[in-house]
Structure 1
């Protein structure tokens, strides 16, 4: 079994609904078990800044899928929830990024793991560290992500404290 972490964000429409549905769909996929969810955080957009604030969270999964297939499932979830890719870093109903996959370094045409900019982004690191506080860069140095300067970013605001997958899914009922 493989351990992976996925970042989920939304800034169009009912942002909370999109996060809940993304996790619900992931749970229904064969070969994926959602093991942890972070609380939900609100952050300003990065890159293209003329858009609404995001809700962000991190999800831990156990999966029998190889990394490329997990990415494909994430893209299917985005599609099912109405994601349209018009503007790089633009508004989106939902965005799922594979952050880490085991302790692997992966670089293919479609997937880079660890996610190439995650160490710079508090909106990724703060939720991730909530569910995996000792997670480290999968490199020889094995530097803890908790040591990154980005985790001290004050622009990440706790939006909704959650205590597990079931509590998140009850939000959608």
Structure 2
């Protein structure tokens, strides 16, 4: 059993509902919640926007490998209305963003996934 930590962020729509829905779906598909941060309001980073972010981090126990978790998080983002990913450091407003921050002590760098999250 591994512990994976995910970062969550949203700056459009009902931000708290976006986070809570993402958390529910993550628990349902990835594993048991072992920790959850408070929700924090932050200014946009890496781009300009009139919309502040609501962010959180969650820890989940899982038997899934990191690449499968990545695919699940991307699926959840699409289900919650995210239509495009950030590319080459070009960020924009989004309904939900889910990043894999840590996966136990794993260090991984592939074209698709970097852990720990940069």
TM-score (norm 2): 0.92
Q: As a proportion of its length, which structure holds more helix?
A: 1
Identify the residue that residue 2 of structure 1 maps to in structure 2: 2
Q: As a proportion of its length, which structure holds more strand?
A: 2
Identify the residue that residue 108 of structure 2 maps to in structure 1: 106
- Quote the Cα distance in structure 1 between the aligned partners of 2:100 and 2:91: 16
TM-score (norm 1): 0.64
- Quote the Cα distance in structure 1 between the aligned partners of 2:97 and 2:50: 15
Q: Secondary structure at the match of 1:50?
A: coil
Q: Which runs of 5+ in 1 are unaligned?
A: 117-173
- Quote the Cα distance in structure 2 between the aligned partners of 1:86 and 1:55: 18
Check the 8 A contact 2:32/2:61 in 1, yes or no. yes
How many corresponding residue pairs? 115
Q: Which runs of 5+ in 2 are unaligned?
A: none
Check the 8 A contact 1:51/1:90 in 2, yes or no. no
TM-superposed CA distance for 1:109, in Å, is 1.2
- Quote the Cα distance in structure 2 between the aligned partners of 1:50 and 1:95: 16
